[in-house]
Amino acid sequence: MTTQLEEKREEKVESDVTPLLSVEALDAGYDQSQILRGVNMVIPPNSVVSLLGRNGVGKTTTLKVLMGLLPSTAGKIVLDGRELGKMKPELRARRGIGYVPQGRDIFPNMTVWDNLKVSISIHGKSASNRLEEVYELFPVLKEMLGRKGGVLSGGQQQQLAIGRALLTSPKLLVLDEPTEGIQPSIIDQIEDAIHYLKKTYDMSILLVEQYLDFAKSVSDQFYIMDRGTMLTGGAIEGLSEELITRHLTV
Ligand SMILES: Nc1ncnc2c1ncn2[C@@H]1O[C@H](COP(=O)(O)OP(=O)(O)OP(=O)(O)O)[C@@H](O)[C@H]1O
Ligand SMILES: [Mg+2]
């Protein structure tokens, strides 16, 4: 039996960890329509956190604000103790956030190698050091180095996008629905890659997902959004059937 004291102690341990990222009371929207309302989120170091929620609740919008692609109208984002403020996306990338947008966003007319080289040209030696590791995680990339990005399957493009982000040695890797529209064998490889990254590197992953089995398999914690606010969250073991039915299934 857990005593109240033990519970208190556990709470304390958790709050003692300085978060890698904290999002506080964030508001944002498009033109006249406000989408995010007071969004809060904490990502501890060395953890995988899933951001869950039905279609259109504001998950991608949250990531866009985090990446500096959309301005916030209130609230703050703190990475590694530093407030990001109005920092440009490129600088956020240099500060250690690697972003794989929904629908991937590789350069379809450039070869796989040239796509990867974009990261190498920006991040230099540390990026080229990681190349072999990326090939090991996603062997198909090495086989297809000379092919145009656009001829790859959806899953291969997703692997290319993740590989390219990994070359930047991010402290925080942000993935927006990496399993969307992808065949199961590649989903398994991405799952393995996340497990490997978690074990191997000092990094955290923020994952937006609708595929719950995948999210449960890789995550330590979850958050659930609805209509632009953060409803609840916690350790992934606490993602109950009740929460799923109430907030996630259609
Ligand atoms: N560029 C835009 N201009 C205006 N409204 C937008 C824009 N992008 C998104 N929205 C609106 O903002 C709301 C939140 O969208 P968002 O893309 O953040 O949802 P989401 O949770 O990522 O959904 P999904 O699971 O479908 O990807 C939706 O009502 C959407 O229609
Ligand atoms: Mg989205």
Provide residues with CB under 6 Å of ligand 1. 30, 35, 53, 55-61, 102
Best CA proximity match to 48, nearest among 77, 70, 83, 20? 20
Q: What is the pLDDT of residues 206-215, one digit of tens each?
A: 999 999 999 9
Q: Whose CA is nearest to atom 9 of ligand 1?
A: 61
CATH value of 19-104+170-248 in 3.30.1280.10, 3.30.70.600, 3.40.50.300, 3.40.190.10? 3.40.50.300
Calculate mean pLDDT across residues 190-207.
93
Residue type, 198: K
Calculate mean pLDDT across residues 208-237.
97
User: Ligand 2 centre from 5 Cα, in Å?
Assistant: 41
- Report residue 204 CA to chain centroid gap: 8
Q: Whose CA is nearest to atom 28 of ligand 1?
A: 56
Q: Please, which residues have CB within 8 angstroms of residue 86's CB and are 6 or more apart in sequence?
A: 68, 71
User: Ligand 1 centre from 72 Cα, in Å?
Assistant: 15
What is the structure's pLDDT at 12?
A: 47
Q: Looking at ligand 1, which atom is closest to the CA of residue 53?
A: 21
Kindly report the number of other CB atoms within 10 A of residue 33's CB atom: 7
In the block, residue with structure tokens 């996340």: 194
User: Ligand 1 centre from 61 Cα, in Å?
Assistant: 6
What is the structure's pLDDT at 122?
A: 77
Q: Looking at ligand 1, which atom is closest to the CA of residue 64?
A: 18
How far apart are the C-alpha atoms of 59 and 133, rounded to whole Å?
A: 30
User: In which band, very low, low, confident or very high, does the pLDDT at 42 lie, cut at 50, 70 and 90?
Assistant: very high
How far apart are the C-alpha atoms of 107 and 116, rounded to whole Å?
A: 10
Per-residue burial over 100-125, b = 16 or more CB atoms within 10 Å of its CB, e = otherwise? bbeebebeeeebbbebbbbbbeebee
What dihedral angle (degrees, nearest 10) is formed by the CA atoms of 163, 164, 169, 174? Answer: -80
- Identify the nearest ligand to the CA of 58 by its number: 1
C-alpha angle 103-65-118 in degrees, rounded to nearest 5: 50
User: Ligand 2 centre from 106 Cα, in Å?
Assistant: 17
How far apart are the C-alpha atoms of 66 and 59, rounded to whole Å?
A: 11
Q: What is the pLDDT of residues 100-111, one digit of tens each?
A: 998 878 999 999
Radius of gyration of the chain from its Cα atoms, rounded to whole angstroms: 18
pLDDT at 246 over 50: yes
Ligand 1, pocket-test mutation among 26, 34, 35, most atoms within 8 A of CB: 35
Choose the weakest-confidence range: 14-23, 32-41, 62-71, 182-191: 14-23
Task: Report yes or no on whether pTM surpasses 0.85.
Answer: yes
User: In which band, very low, low, confident or very high, does the pLDDT at 15 lie, cut at 50, 70 and 90?
Assistant: low
pLDDT at 29 over 50: yes
pLDDT at 56 over 90: yes
Beta-bridge mates of residue 176? 208
Average pLDDT, the chain: 91
Best CA proximity match to 45, nearest among 81, 10, 77, 76? 81
- In the structure encoding, which two tokens stand for residue 54, read together? 């039905």
Calculate mean pLDDT across residues 75-91.
95
Domain boundaries, the chain: 19-104+170-248
Q: Return the higher-pLDDT residue of 121 and 21.
A: 21
Residue 104 near residue 158 (C-beta atoms within 8 A): yes
User: In which band, very low, low, confident or very high, does the pLDDT at 7 lie, cut at 50, 70 and 90?
Assistant: low
pLDDT at 116 over 80: yes
pLDDT at 124 over 70: yes
Percent of the chain residues topping a pLDDT of 90? 82
Q: Whose CA is nearest to atom 17 of ligand 1?
A: 60
Q: What is the pLDDT of residues 126-149, one digit of tens each?
A: 777 889 999 999 999 999 999 999
